[in-house]
Amino acid sequence: MSLPVQTLLAEAQHLPRHELDELISGLLARRDADDTPEAVAAAWDEEIARRLTEIDRGEVEWIPGEQVFAEINGLLGKAGK
């Protein structure tokens, strides 16, 4: 746990119950806002852009799909034994 989080938790322990409830509700609302379809789509757009940039820079190694599926099938075959 990072120092800022530890500090926040320590300070939150001294809040009156109603303020602690407000803090928790606000944090949960913030977290849940990230689960909206729009937020999920935006996160995927960012991830796709990041991965395309890595590809354009030559920072990642391409693996043929046939090889990936062969490795997966091999792993699944071993798991069934």
Q: Which residue has the tokens 């091999």?
A: 74
Residue 11 clears pLDDT 70, i.e. is over it: yes
- Residue 80 pLDDT: 65
pTM above 0.75, yes or no: no
- Residue 50 pLDDT: 96
Q: For residue range 51-67, what is the model confidence (pLDDT) as tens digits?
A: 999 999 999 988 999 99
Q: 35: left (phi > 0), else alpha (psi -120 to 50), else beta?
A: alpha
- Residue 35 pLDDT: 83
